[in-house]
Chains A and B, each alone.
Chain A
Amino acid sequence: MPESVLFWIMGPLAVVAAVGMLLVKKAVHSALLLAWVMVTLAFFYIAQGALFLGIVQVVVYTGAVMMLFLFILMLVGVDAADSLTETIRGLRPIAITAAIGFGGLMVSLISRATLGREPVGLDAANAAGNVQGLAQLLFSTYVWPFEVVSALLITAALGAMVLAHRQREVARPSQRDLSEQRFRSGSLATAAGLPGPGVFARHNAVDVPALLPDGSAAPASISETLRTRGDMIDSSEFQLDQVNTEVREEK
């Protein structure tokens, strides 16, 4: 039975990935695990004779929707640390108890329900092809919901544009304004701009802080986002060896 092999491999993997989605700290990892769950569901759709939906699942969900999620994550929340500490006391035990109750209810309901007949299977309905069968239904019985849904799509696109649009109320600061602001900020240390990252001649990467003349690292040379994420490499190992230079000078 190839289908039960597929089910018993992919099913537990989907559940594990979904549980992992709740447990991982970073939102990007959650997004990747969710993408995996969606791919698994696409497998299940195709295994159940829903060929068209399986392809649409991959294209729309793992393609478009997850891409949108990752895009917004990069825009908004990469440096926003998502703490797993509970802010409302007692929320987590209550939530888990309620979830176990709800899940147990659903599972026992499914196991006790009798369908009254053997599962029919889609061989007859898919006789002319799955896409043809769906199109037949979509453009006859469901033509009115189909039109309404198209109106919904246009409204959603318009709504997103209205929400994302921002009217600029003050003029964009010019280079001159920014320069004056730097000099009048009190300290002249950053008046010439922040130092660039990387350790000259030994290592060159955006996550390695530059070295100051006294040999200490300059955290200001690293992007703010990388610093808050903690993705900063210690640059001390790339420093020139103090002892070696002294020996060479003696010779």
Chain B
Amino acid sequence: MNPTNYLYISALLFTIGAIGVVVRRNAIVVFMCIELMLNAANLSFVTFARINGNLDGQVVAFFTMVVAACEVVVGLAIIVTIYRSRRSASVDDASLLKR
């Protein structure tokens, strides 16, 4: 099977994740959409590793996973901190600078 098909799936998942980041209001769902985008990028790394016949792409995907794990830890801690002070997990409510 042509590995390019995986690239199409990857592009579609990335686009769907981008829509989610813009459209959804719950900070946790927005965060999950970012994870979806990172996963889509990982899929294309793995696919390119296969197309080019070396393992460098897989190593980069591995690093992406580590960085994504760090990002989740810090991001969720930020969400919890905002929730504690504002009692809301909606990204629209965190507009203190505007008022």
Task: Please list the residues of chain A having a beta carbon within 8 angstroms of any beta carbon in chain B.
Answer: 1, 3-4, 7, 11, 14-15, 18-19, 21-22, 27, 30-31, 34, 37-38, 41, 44-45, 48-50, 52-53, 56-57, 60-61, 64-65, 68-69, 72-73, 75-77, 80, 82-83, 86-87, 91-92, 95-96, 98-99, 102-103, 106-107, 110-111, 115, 119-122, 124-126, 130, 133-134, 137-138, 141-142, 145-146, 149, 152-153, 155-157, 159-160, 163-164, 166
Contact = CB atoms under 8 A, between A and B. Distances in A.
Interface residues of B, number: 71
Contact of A22 (B19, B31, B53, B66): B19
Q: Is the interface of B mostly helix, strand, loop or mixed?
A: helix
Contacts of A146: 63
Contacts of B46: 44-45, 48, 50, 53
A126 B49 CA distance: 11
B14 to A, nearest CB: 7
Nearest to A148: B63
Contact of B23 (A92, A102, A120): A92
A137 B22 contact: no
B94 interface: no
